[in-house]
Every structure is written in C-alpha cells, then in structure tokens.
Amino acid sequence: MSAEMQVFLLPDLGEGLTEAELVNWLVAVGDEIRVDQPIAEVETAKSMVEVPSPYAGIVAELHGEAGQTLDVGKPLISVAPVGASVAGDPTPAEEKASQTPAVAAAAETYRTEEKAGSGNVLIGYGTSGGGEARRTRPRKVSAPAVAVTSEPDLDELSLSRTRTPGKLSAVISPLVRKMARDHGVSLDAVPGSGESGLILRSDIEAAIGGAARETAPVDTPAIVQTSPEIQDARTGLTVASRTPVRGIRKAVAANMSRSRSEIPEATVWVDVDASALLEMRAELKKRDPHGAPGLLAFIARFVTAGLKKFPELNTRFVTAEDTAGGEMQEIIAFDGINLGFAAQTDRGLVVPSVRNAHLLNARELDAEIRRLTAVARDGKATPTELASGTFTLNNYGVFGVDGSAAIINYPEVAMLGVGRIIDKPWVVDGQLAVRKVTELTLAFDHRVCDGETAAGFLRYVADAIENPGTVLADL
C-alpha cells in the first residue's frame, strides 16, 4: 500500500446513476478495514447497496453523514496506511511503536489483499475468497499472550462488524453513537435489543428516558417544545410536514415525468372471462398444492408468447444526433424478452425484471417472480434486476381496482395491466351466467405501432386467459 492517503470516490452503482443516499456507515474513523469489506449502505434510485472498499488500511475520514445525498465521483471515505495516526484514533503513538511482529505481519497481509483486489466496487464483483469481512483493529500487547482455541466464536464474529473501536458495545449507526455521546450515555452500559446484541436507536432512547426520570424533579412538568407554525401562502393552511423527495421516490418521479412528457401513449382495454384459467389452476393445485404456478405466472407466459407475435411492443424508441448534426430517430428491437413486473415495497414501487423470460415456462416464471419479489421487498435487488426490462406486466388487481390509465415504464414502449377478478354477469352460449371476470388494459407508445398491433396483442392475451389449455398446448 502506498504511504499516502487513499481517497475512495463514490462509484456509479448502476447504469448512469448520478447520486446515492447514504443510509448507514458500517465502519468508523479508526477502524482497520480489508479490501472488499462493506463500509457503507447506500440507497440508489434503484436499490439498497452495500459499498465495499477497494483499499485496506485505517479509516481516516468519513465524507458524509447518514441521510445525506452524495454525488457519484465525490469522496466517500479516506483510508490511511496501517499504523498511521488518524484523527479520532484512541491508540497512542508510543503504543503503536511497540506493536509486535505479529501485528506487522497482519498489516502485510492487508497490503497483499489490497494488491490482489479486483478494483470492482459493487458487492459481489470484488475480490473473492476473503472469508467474512470483519471490522478489526491491531491487538494491543500489554499483557502475556493467552492461548486461544482455533475455532472462532460465532457470536464474536457476528458482533465484530458492528463494534466501535476499542469497545465491546455493538453499534452500526453513527446516529446512535452521536445520540449516546450527546446525552452522556455509555454504550458499554446499554443492552442491545437487536440481533447479536446490536444497540438500536430505541435502546439509546430508553436509556435517555431512564436517566431523565432519575434526575427530573417529581413536581416539574414536562415541557413540550413545538416548532413554529408555518402557513401556506396559497391555501392559508398550516404546513404539517415537508418530506424531501429522494431515493427511489425521486427516481420514480423523474421516470414518470419523462414518460408522460416524451411518450404519446394510447390505451386499449378489454374484459376477460378468467373462469377457465382459475379452474385449471385449481385442478393443478389439487395435484400439487405447493408447486402450482400462480395466476400471474400463467399470464406472464401468455404475455411472452404474445410479444413474439407482436414484437413491436417489445422495442425501444430512441432519438439520437445524426452525422449532420440533426435529429435521428430509431426503433430498437430485441432478440429476447426481459419481462418486468410492478412490485410494491416499503421503499416504493419498483419494477424487477425476469431476464430472458421468453425461455421460461409457467413454473419457472413463477419461481423467478417470487424470488425477485422477495429481494425487491428486502431492498436487495441489484441495479441490473431493476433496470433491464423490455416490457412491464402490472397486477394492480391486488389493490382491489379494475383498471388504470397506467404510465409506461420509460424507456419501454408498453405496459399491460391486470385488474381484480370478480364475479360478473356474462353471456355463455346464449345464457346469462355468473363468471370470474377481469379487465386487461394495455398502454402503448403510438410511435412504435398503430392500434391494430396493440389490439391484436391484447386480444391474444385475452383469448389465452379464456382458453388456457388450448394456448398452453401450443406453446
């Protein structure tokens, strides 16, 4: 490792992202870190990502606080060489000078790791084979060596990434540390209620509340401080709150605005008798209660088949500059289908996509839809999984609505929506009957095709839902 300070700049964590919100620091100033060790959690416009360090050494400076939005290409963390003195490092210089050869050997190991580092900074793409990344510091030798067992303590491993240097208290969030410091709460005295004894914000608040109850006079009433009221000039009403638009909400807002401003969309819809599809799935569920594909997987299979027949809806409309400096427009077609589907999460609406969905059957589509839904709701979907779709399927029927004038997921050119399935009167063979009916709605970019193409695709999917056995036999 170079004797100079290494400054790690926030990388582009996705396809053309320009910023990310710093959610949580996983290290603190003074920590010794390894190559590819996660140092921070950041929320991009597409997912929550752990950012690993490409450098080994001592954390010298953290360039940002939790909740702050950082620009790509700006400093994220500064790393000093092992053994260097950094601000906030509690280890005295004379103690560092007396470190044993074992510590020096460990430092050399870190240097070797850094040289072997791939330089890739996305988690899962860095140096492999390093074992579990741990936040550690060189051991101080002030007493005779004590024999230790060769097997590591699992609880010790789980806590090692969350410790404040030199302490046994498990803390991840710098906000928790600051809250404890500002209120004079000793972290060593706080029992953590999180996993492996992790100290949470609620633990500090409870400790602060307990201290306040011990010191406050019994007859002194609590004083509640309220922020000054701000009146909205247009409505005359008091402003209740202001919420910054950032993270995934900011990305959704930008994407929807661009879609509506650039895409001349049109919409077609049709009611569909889904009784046969429901009956077919019920029969499959009797045979295999846990392996029958869900309804969305069957519809997804019909969609991929329909897109093969009407490929204009699986394209992209792009505008570029031609050789003469003028405007050139193209329709880009794809050899394959990445089927996106809308998924509501605690962080907002995301659209993970099943890559090469045209190669999968209904069971395989069902398994992949379930997997992607789970990782999206956990905030662990990768930028590639969230930004590679060519067509979107939106099941807004789960919210109890029939239809929607959907906004196309830019830069795609079409979206199919599926409404709730409810009992409705339906004419069957000239007789009125009660059937399971849903509404399909297709929003499409009128620049890439005319209404005949859109109607043909929609009718194909509708016929497949009404006669699933016949269509599946031909797929």
Mind telling me the catalytic residues? 446
Distances in Å between the alpha carbon of 216 and those of 179, 187, 209, 220, 318? 19, 22, 10, 7, 67
Q: Is the peptide bond before 101 cis (omega within 30 degrees of 0)?
A: no
Task: Calculate the CA dihedral of residues 205, 211, 212, 218 and round it to 10 degrees.
Answer: 140
Q: Is the peptide bond before 191 cis (omega within 30 degrees of 0)?
A: no
Asked if residues 430 and 454 have their Cβ atoms less than 8 Å apart, the reply is no
Rounded Cα distance between 366 and 461, Å, is 18
Asked if residues 445 and 408 have their Cβ atoms less than 8 Å apart, the reply is yes
Rounded Cα distance between 11 and 434, Å, is 57
Q: Is 319 exposed, middle or buried (0-12, 13-18, 19+ CB in 10 A)?
A: exposed
Q: State which H helix or E strand residue 457 sits in.
A: helix 451-466
Rounded Cα distance between 124 and 44, Å, is 17
Q: Which of 294, 305, 295, 297 minimizes the C-alpha distance to 272?
A: 295
Rounded Cα distance between 274 and 168, Å, is 60
